[in-house]
Amino acid sequence: MNGSEKIGAVAVIGGGIAGIQASLDLAEMGLKVYLVEEKPSIGGVMAQLDKTFPTNDCSMCMISPKLVETGRHLNIEILSYADLMKVEGEAGNFKAFTTTFEDLHGLKQLPGHAVQRLMAEGYGFGAEGDWKTAALVRAMKVMSTGLEGGTSFMEDYTYHMDPAGMKVLGAHMLEVCPSIAEGKSSMEVHELGIGDKDDPIRLVFDVAMGQGINVSIMDMGDRFRMLINPCQVVQADEPLPNLPVARVVWMPEPDLSTAAEAWIHAGGAH
């Protein structure tokens, strides 16, 4: 690589021993390195071992100095609890997108709108750096290809406990996929009371009424369990002008009490 081909920054994916050594080597070449690791800390499997094969050397004796050097190196920025969600460009000119709630590394806002756009393109997403949920959302989007409607990450936000018609309000802090939107979405800026960041931008919309399903996929170790509850998407009883996020109101089948009890006993997510 000559001077005219110098790259401004490099992303190293995975904070195991290989990623750590690659980051150190690149940083010593004068490159800015972003070390992306999905776990809370770097070190990988080697940091959990007692000895290494074939020399039976002490594992931590070998990796500890590299952990310290990586953490202190001025050219290395560690992005823990982070997933690489998208890469664009070509060799030598890539653009990458990552999201992690705990430390946004210089971003002035939570990237809610960016996540919504990625989900609309078919990418999975899990809140607060939840890489497994992101993978499962992507799997659900693939499974629902060609079906009417869309697929989104969602949470039970609050409950309408009127005995005459119990309902669920589904929403999330920012990240609801516009593939389930009815009509035109509005782009809005609202205060967010956590994260200590600037007020974030997000798409706000309602969801079309009709038949829907809620799905939760649980990792059982050697298999997955898929839990499905049919529901009817309905109109909210009143306008929700003060709810600053995308939202959907549904009535679980056969009713909220029965569905919630079965969902909890089966281990469904919230």
Global pTM reads 0.65
Of the given ranges (30-39, 108-117, 238-247), which has the lowest mean pLDDT? Answer: 108-117
Judged against a pLDDT cut of 90, whether residue 131 lies above it is answered with no
pLDDT top residue among 107 and 182: 182
Would you say the C-alpha torsion 133, 135, 138, 143 has a positive or negative sign?
Answer: negative
The whole-angstrom separation of Cα 66 and Cα 134 is 30
CA distance to 68, 203, 213, 253, per residue, from 233 (Å)? 53, 20, 9, 11
Judged against a pLDDT cut of 90, whether residue 179 lies above it is answered with yes
pLDDT for the residue 100 = 59
Q: How confident is the model over 19-24, as a mean pLDDT?
A: 94
Judged against a pLDDT cut of 50, whether residue 4 lies above it is answered with no
pLDDT top residue among 262 and 43: 262
Judged against a pLDDT cut of 60, whether residue 3 lies above it is answered with no
Look over the chain and give the mean of its residue pLDDT values, rounded to a whole number: 85
Is residue 1 very low, low, confident or very high in pLDDT (cuts 50, 70, 90)?
A: very low
pLDDT top residue among 121 and 8: 121
The whole-angstrom separation of Cα 151 and Cα 178 is 9
The whole-angstrom separation of Cα 19 and Cα 79 is 12
**Partners of 249 in beta bridges:** 169, 234
Do residues 190 and 244 lie in contact, with contact meaning Cβ atoms separated by under 8 Å? yes
Digit-coded pLDDT (tens) for 45-83: 888 888 877 778 888 888 889 999 999 999 999 988 777
What DSSP character marks residue 191?
-
pLDDT for the residue 106 = 66
User: Of the candidates 115, 254, 228, 230, which has an alpha carbon nearest to the alpha carbon of residue 177?
Assistant: 115
- Amino acid symbol at 17: I
Residue 40 makes CB contacts below 8 A (sequence gap 6+) with 80, 81
Q: How confident is the model over 158-181, as a mean pLDDT?
A: 90
pLDDT for the residue 232 = 97
Do residues 74 and 86 lie in contact, with contact meaning Cβ atoms separated by under 8 Å? no
Q: How confident is the model over 218-233, as a mean pLDDT?
A: 93
pLDDT top residue among 59 and 91: 59
User: Of the candidates 80, 143, 95, 86, which has an alpha carbon nearest to the alpha carbon of residue 119?
Assistant: 86
Q: How confident is the model over 18-44, as a mean pLDDT?
A: 91
Print burial letters for 118-151: b (CB count within 10 Å at least 16), e (below 16).
Answer: bbbeebbbbbebbbebbebbbebbeeeeeeeebb
Residue 7 makes CB contacts below 8 A (sequence gap 6+) with 1, 31, 92
Q: How confident is the model over 140-152, as a mean pLDDT?
A: 91
Do residues 173 and 192 lie in contact, with contact meaning Cβ atoms separated by under 8 Å? yes
Q: What is the number of other CB atoms lying within 10 angstroms of the CB of residue 194?
A: 8
Domains of the chain, each with CATH number or no CATH: 9-133 (3.40.50), 146-266 (no CATH)
pLDDT for the residue 52 = 77
Q: How confident is the model over 162-173, as a mean pLDDT?
A: 90
The whole-angstrom separation of Cα 257 and Cα 235 is 20
